[in-house]
Amino acid sequence: MSKMNELVSHDVADAARRRARKLRRVAHRTLLRYPHRVRCPVCGWSGARLSPSAKPRRPNRLCPACKSSERYRALELVLRRRGPVDPDVRLLEVAPIHTVQRTAEDLGYRYTSVDLRSPRAQVHADLCHLPFADASFDVVVCFHVLEHIPEDRQAVTELARVVGTEGEAIVVVPRDDRRAVTFEDPDADPADYERLFGQSDHVRWYGADVAERWRETGVEVVEQRWSDLFTPDIFDHAALLGDDDRFWIVRASS
């Protein structure tokens, strides 16, 4: 084969491989899409099942379109069920993702986001020292943040302070059901966090004592399950069964 013919046949083979890859992607997406057993309440995508998550490795976990996990799909259902609010009702999102602001503003909330560093956040501040007045928010959303914070009790006190006795901070943390007591080790080397706490930037494994642990600070803590809020068909349709069935409502004690 001449040099020119060799190059041409390489190009043809490359193009065929690219076409095959594209066909596989389309086939995968099509297979994932039918029948419509699951619907993402955040973006409306529907299909046979959601994408798996990598860590922890679980099937039917993340929306293939908007990437929302079950806790954000549950929040969406909760906020939508409550319906539109007056424009003076304020919602604070800690460690914002891309979907909550859209939903909150769509429903009429005055939305604010806070994070120590994230460029997505409107306010940059430490969760242990929030620059907001007492009882200045009606709702705070704080998902998967406190397991990163060494002084989580101080952060919980701040969440309760900014919602006061009438508002509610909706808090989710990863919890290891096999542990009766939360495990942390303030002297641990950060190089060991992944081995000790399951992720390189986590500083503890919460156990069954989450509510008790936070109540010791004097705040009100109510432990709930998403599965208690929805009928089984709504729960299954939004694929809410993951690691995050529990959540906690935190507010100042009255």
Tell me which residues touch Zn ion (CB under 5 A).
40, 42-43, 45, 63, 65-66, 68
Strand locations in 35-174 (E): 38-39, 46-47, 51-53, 58-62, 90-94, 110-115, 123-124, 139-143, 168-172
How far apart CA 80 and CA 49 sit, in angstroms, is: 22
Identity of the residue, 74 or 127, whose beta carbon is nearer to Zn ion in the bound complex? 74
Structure tokens at 116: 């120590």
CB 43 → Zn ion: shortest distance, Å?
Answer: 3
Nearer to Zn ion, 42 or 139 (CB): 42
Taking the least distance from each CB to Zn ion, the nearer of 42 and 140 is 42
Which residue lies nearer to Zn ion by CB, 63 or 146?
Answer: 63
What DSSP designation does 167 have? S
Alpha-carbon distance 254 to 241, whole Å?
Answer: 33
Give the Cβ contact number of residue 162 at 10 Å: 22
**Cβ proximity to Zn ion, 214 vs 226, nearer residue:** 226
CA-wise closest residue to 75 among 175, 155, 142: 142
Q: Is 67 exposed, middle or buried (0-12, 13-18, 19+ CB in 10 A)?
A: middle
Tell me the closest approach of the beta carbon of residue 40 to Zn ion, in angstroms.
Answer: 3
- Residue 206 is classified by DSSP as B
Minimum Å gap between C-beta 118 and Zn ion is 21
Amino acid of residue 110: R
Among residues 60 and 217, whose Cβ is nearest to Zn ion?
60
Separation between Cα atoms, residue 183 and residue 116, nearest integer Å: 25
